[in-house]
Every structure is written in C-alpha cells, then in structure tokens.
Structure 1
Amino acid sequence: MNNHLKRTDRWNQRKENKNKWKKGIKISLLSFLVLSLLLGGYLFYTFNQFGSSIFRNAQGEKPDQTQDNEFGISDLFTNSFDRPLNVLVLGVDAREDQSFEGARSDTIMVMRIDPKTKQVATVSFPRDTYVRIPKYGYQKINHSMAYGGIPLLEATIEENFGITIDNYIAIDFVAFTEIVDALGGLEVYTPSSMYYIASDIQVELTPGFHHLNGEELLGYVRYRHDAEGDFGRIKRQQYVIRALAEKAVSAKTILKAPKLLDILGEHISTDLSKQDLFSIMKTYHSFSKADWHPMTLSGTPGRSSRDNLWYYYYDEEDKQKVLEHLDKYSSVKQFE
C-alpha cells in the first residue's frame, strides 16, 4: 500500500471514529486570528454559541443536530489538549458567492502548538512551491487543494516534508474584511508605491503610513507585484496576522467579542471539537505575540524548462530548517 493510500485510510478512519467534519466551506488567510480570539478568555456562553456554528460536513453544511459535539459545564474542567498538535492553517480566494469546491489555497501555513511550552511555531509555504502531489505528479503546492481538497493537501505536505497534520482551521476572505473593520482597521507602512487593479485584488498605496479598512488591507496582504513577489506577500501577511491578533486579545476588544465570534462563526471551518478548542484556550490564556514564532520555507524562484512556469524550489537543507523550527519550540521532538 503506497503512502497516499495509507494517508487516505487514516483520514477515513479518523472521520468515522471521532465524528469530525473534515471539509470546510470557505477559507482565508485570517485563520490564525481564530486561535487568538479563543485565547482571549471570552465568556463560556459566547464560546459555546461560536463553537456550534463552525463545524461543517464534507459538503460544507452544518451537521445534523443529533451529532454529538455538545459542550457542557463539566467540560470546563476537562483538558483534551495534552500533546503537541500540527494544525494546518489555510486560505483561498473564496467569497460568499463562490464554492469551496475546486478552490486553490491562497495561503498555506502549518502551526505547531504545545501544551507544555505554550509556544506557537508556524511555517508558511509559498503557494508556488514545487512539490510532488500524490497521483498528480510535480506541480505547485496550491494545486493540491483544487484536486483533492484538504485531505490531498495534507497528504502532499506529509509526503514532501514529513509533517503529519493533526487538524485544520480555515476561514474565507469575507471574515477577513469584516473582522478588520470590526477592529477599527489597521495602520501599515509601505516603503514604496503599491498599485495593482484586477477583479480579485485592488491596491493603490503611496509610500508612507496608511490606516486601512478591511477591503484595503485585503489588497495589501494579497499584493505580490514587487521585487519580493510571493515572499514579500507572505511577510506582509505575517505582520498583519500578528498585529490583528494583538488587537483581538486586547482589553479594548473584549466587549466586541460576541460580534467578532459571530463573524467567524459564519466563515470558518475546523475539525477541532469544542472540547479541543476550549482546552487550547485554557492552555494559552496568557498568549502574546512573543509566544508566536513564524518562518517561511526558504528556497529559490525559477522558471521550469518543462512547462515554462515559475515555481518556488526548495532543497533538503531548506526542508530541514522547517522541521528544526517546528521542533525548536516543542517539548516533543518529532523530526530528530
């Protein structure tokens, strides 16, 4: 049995035994903000209502009410987060009028969380990264989402990097713009002009400081037409996510928690249970940006002689840096 079939069997078994709904409706780059909001220690009732709305089945529909994913008072004293987890954080260009089916992931991140160290290590993978996709051969990593959804993307990451994915979190772009607006926007600095107008992205910024609303910030984080290309885009995403996470857990934001969680509840998808989410929240109740350690897969962009397309190439040394980074902030070393 090849690796892909083993990975598929494990996926099916996990779905059956744990009663988790694996395929979300829509996804976006703001996935990390979900964790930050939960880490803020919001009221039990608000959390419970939020948790009721984020679970989806394979068709992106809310599960039948008879499904057992309830969360009661006794669960406040139960901890299911007892080992390090690798959480896949995804993003695609999905809007309210678009289907999740066949979408390509716009942002791909693996987040390693640990109940002992209480640190968060993340690795971002450029969407043009040249990898082997099971059954489809060598292509860009973001194509795997379009071919086989989250299961195939997980299998692709495991086969190419040796990282087993335990869970996923995903949100769409509507959540990004609405959350940014609810938080009052964000100030950014642009060292040079940024201009690009298309159907899916619009950005017009002069050099200097700018206070951006949700739509403007979405253009800012998706822009990739400067000298750094996709690598610069990832750096902007990491800055914005960190800044928004800091805003989300601030004292001034607590009163906005119900509204923020309502927005997220309509636009996120995860296979983490309510108990998992609450256990993570308790573990990271004092989370700050100092506990978050991001990095990006290093490599070299280049044009392929095979199909004349641009790819982001990495080698064994680049891969090893990723594994060492994930292990560095964890109590359990997976990749030694």
Structure 2
Amino acid sequence: MKRAIVVTLLIGFLMSVGLTGYGYFKYTRMTGEWFEPLHSIQSDQWRQDEEPSPPNEQKKKEQRPRLDPFTIMILGVDTRGEKKARSDTIILAAVNPTSQQVKLLSIPRDTLVKIPGYGQDKFNHAMFYGGAPLVKQTIEDFLGIKVDRYATIDFEGFIKLVDSLDGVKVDVKRRMKYRDPSDGTEIDLHPGLQQLDGKQALDYARFRKSEIGSDASDFDRMDRQQEVMKQLADKATRFTTLFRVFKLMDILEEHVKTDLTSDEIGRLAILFKGFSSSEIETMELGGTSRRMPKHGYNLWFHVVSDEEKKRIQHLIQKTLEDDKLPETAGP
C-alpha cells in the first residue's frame, strides 16, 4: 500500500514538473510570436526594483516587481485576409500598477483627426493608411499624450478567445439585425439576457447600422465593447485548468500582436493579481457631430474641441501620476 502511495505521488510530481515545463515553453513561444515592436515606440520607463531583499525578508513577504505607469493603445482589427485593415476598435488605456488603476478611453472611429502625411480624416483610416505605427502617432498628435505600448487582436482571434472562455453573458437592449455580404457581416440578435458565443459577442460589440429601426450610435457601440472587454478580463483571471490556459496561449500566439515583453506581462500578472473589472474606469471623448466633405462625399465626423482634449489629458495624467497604494482587504 505504501509503495502504491509513493508511486502515485511520484507520478503526480513528474506530471506537475512536465506541465510546468510545458507551460513555460508555451508561454515563451506565445510571447515570442506575438512580440512585434513598433519602430516609433521607444520607452525606458519599464523597470524592476533591483535592490535585493535580505533572505529573511523574502520569507516574510512576497516581493512585488515594479512597473511605472504607462499608456497602451488597444486595437481591434479585421483584415479579412487582406494586408491592410481599418481599426474597428480604438481604445487608449492608462494603467497605473502602483495604485492598481486602469482607465479606458474609447475613441470613436469617425473622430476628425489630422493623420500625419494624409491630412484630416476619420480616425479609423489611420490603420488602413499606415498600420499600428501611424495610429500611435495620430493618437499622440491628437491628444498630446505619449503612447507607451500597443496591442492588436483580429476578429478571428476575438471569436476564438470568447469561445475558449465559454462565452459572455449580456443583456441585449434592442433588436440587432444587419447584413453586409461585401464583408461577410451578418448580425442577428434578439433582446434579452443571454449567453453569447464568440461570433455573437463580436456582432454585439460591432453593431451600429441596423435594418430594423434606427442605427446605433458610436457611443452605444463603445459601451458594448467595453462591457465585453470587462467580462473577458474577469473570466481570463479565473483559470480552472492548465489545459484551458494552454488553449488561450495558442489563440493569443496566433492572433495578437504587441510590444509588451514576456517579462513585462509576467510582472503585470503579479501586480494585478485579484484585480476585478469593476475597478476599471471608463472615459468618454465628448464632441459634436458635423457633416464635412471628404473623399467625394458629405460625411459625418465626430469633432472634438481643444477643451475636451485637455480634459482627457488631465484625467489620464492624474491616473499615471497617482502613487497611492491600493487598499488591501487584510494582512
């Protein structure tokens, strides 16, 4: 009997070692595949405390790595098999690891901006003209805020990600029906609380034009996108098995591009352990709708005033400069 117990423990130990080694291999491969620095991004702000703690102090408390506050632009893109694409989702996030604050600013696709080298146009055209580097430069020029990091995910990856996390539960507020054979869009959702799979979640997040009733506004769309993002953030932090983690790694490896390194991601995971999406704050970029001639048409643009840009600058700067430690629930 004792021998059987020993053998069982030994097998369990070997399996855990094997899974740990395989997990490390998967993690390094994933971060190696998705790592794609933008030539225009240079930042020396990411650092780690280098002063070693005495051995007895290490036993008393877990050492926390250090990261300075940073901004990151998050882009949802749909290439549809093409090299060029317009960004369907444009989010600028301010992240403060010290105070564990995260603020999200969704930028309407129709926002009137000056795209370097192309003049005034809609914001989402920057991705088509010059990819993520040009989007970064456009954001910096438009808001006067330095963008430190970026991440992109394509539509196929979003669908797989949602499916791997068993979908998202949302309360659909209205009938959503729209079909566009030119790009394969086919949205058909009914009102009510329901569990959406990956394809349905993408439709829910993207819906704007409608075949039934009035079109949805860009702000309605951005609220839905943030709602889905928060749910995914919560689900992703509640891993149930290593095999689910491995599956997520496969998806991210194939469909995400970022200039976050494996070391930075590891430190963020430690610093934001136990973080809830309810703590994420959202900001709205106010403005007015205005028709303007462009590309041979009289198009609608979201026009943002200089005062509104300064307001956003202040909110983001306040988040980045806050050095107050988050409250803890206990010793």
TM above 0.5, yes or no, is yes
Any unmatched runs of 5+ in structure 1?
1-42, 59-76
Q: 1:269 — aligned with what?
A: 257
Paired residue for 1:51, among 31, 34, 37? Answer: 31
Q: Distance in 2 between matches of 1:150 and 1:251?
A: 30
Partner residue, 1:142: 124
Q: Structure 2 unaligned runs (5+)?
A: 1-22, 39-62, 324-331
Say if 2:320 is the partner of 1:330: yes
Q: Does 1:112 align with 2:94?
A: yes
Preserved CA contact (<8 Å) 1:115 1:283 = yes
User: In structure 2, what is the equivalent of residue 246 of structure 1?
Assistant: 234
Residue pair 2:35, 2:257 contacting (<8 A) in 1 also: yes
**Matching residue of 2:310:** 320
Report the equivalent of 1:168.
Answer: 150
Judge which range, 129-138 or 277-286, deviates more: 277-286
TM-score, with normalisation over the residues of structure 2? 0.75
Is 1:286 aligned to residue 274 of structure 2?
yes
Provide the C-alpha distance between the structure 2 equivalents of 1:319 and 1:86, rounded to a whole number of angstroms. Answer: 16
Alignment match of 2:199 (pick from 215, 219, 230): 215
- Aligned-partner Cα distance in 1 for 2:251–2:207: 24
Contact 1:92 1:106 in 2 (8 A): yes
User: What letter is aligned with 2:299?
Assistant: L
Would you say 1:83 and 2:52 are equivalent positions? Answer: no
Paired residue secondary structure (2:298) = coil
Residue deviations 1:194-223 (CA, integer Å, cap 9, x gap): 110113321112222232211121111110
Query: What residue number does 2:187 align with?
Result: 203
Judge conservation of contact 2:37–2:259 (CA < 8 Å) in 1: no
Q: How many positions carry a matched residue from both structures?
A: 272
Judge conservation of contact 1:172–1:268 (CA < 8 Å) in 2: yes
Distance 1:148 1:305, change over 3 A: closer
Relative to the length of structure 1, the TM-score reads: 0.74
Q: CA-to-partner distance for each residue in 1:152-199, whole Å, 9 max, x for gaps?
A: 211111111101111111111111111111111222212221110113
Distance in 1 (alpha carbons) for counterparts of 2:72 and 2:37: 18
Q: How does 1:298-309 map to 2 (within 5 A)?
A: 298-305=286-293, 307-309=297-299
Q: What's the secondary structure of 1:252's corresponding residue?
A: coil
Tell me the residue number matched to 2:15.
none
Shift of 1:94: 2.3
Aligned partner of 1:314: which letter?
V
CA-CA distance at 1:254 after TM superposition: 5.8
- How far apart are the structure 2 equivalents of 1:134 and 1:251? 42
Cα gap change, 1:78/1:330 in structure 2, threshold over 3 Å: closer, same or farther? Answer: closer
1:91 to partner: Cα distance: 1.5
Question: Which amino acid in 2 is paired with 1:82?
Answer: L
Distance 1:175 1:249 in 2: 18
Contact residue 104 and residue 282 of structure 2 kept, 8 A: yes
Question: Which amino acid in the other structure matches residue 87 of structure 1?
Answer: I
Query: 1:193·1:206 contact (CA, 8 Å) conserved in 2?
Result: yes
- 2:227 partner amino acid: Y
Give the secondary structure class of the aligned counterpart of 2:29: helix
Q: 1:276-333 deviations in whole A, cap 9, x for unaligned?
A: 2212222212221133112231112221156511111111222123223213433359
Q: 1:123 — aligned with what?
A: 105
Quick one: distance in 1 between partners of 2:206 and 2:304?
22
Aligned counterpart for 1:93 among listed residues 60, 70, 78: 78
Q: Which amino acid aligns with 1:94?
A: T
Cα distance in 2 for partners of 1:196, 1:255 equals: 37
- Tell me if the contact between 1:202 and 1:216 (Cα under 8 Å) persists in the aligned partners: no
The Cα offsets for residues 72-108 of structure 1, whole Å up to 9 and x where unpaired, read as xxxxx894x531111111121124x332xx3211111
**Quick one: percent identity of the two aligned structures?**
36
For residue 228 of structure 2, what is the amino acid of its counterpart?
V
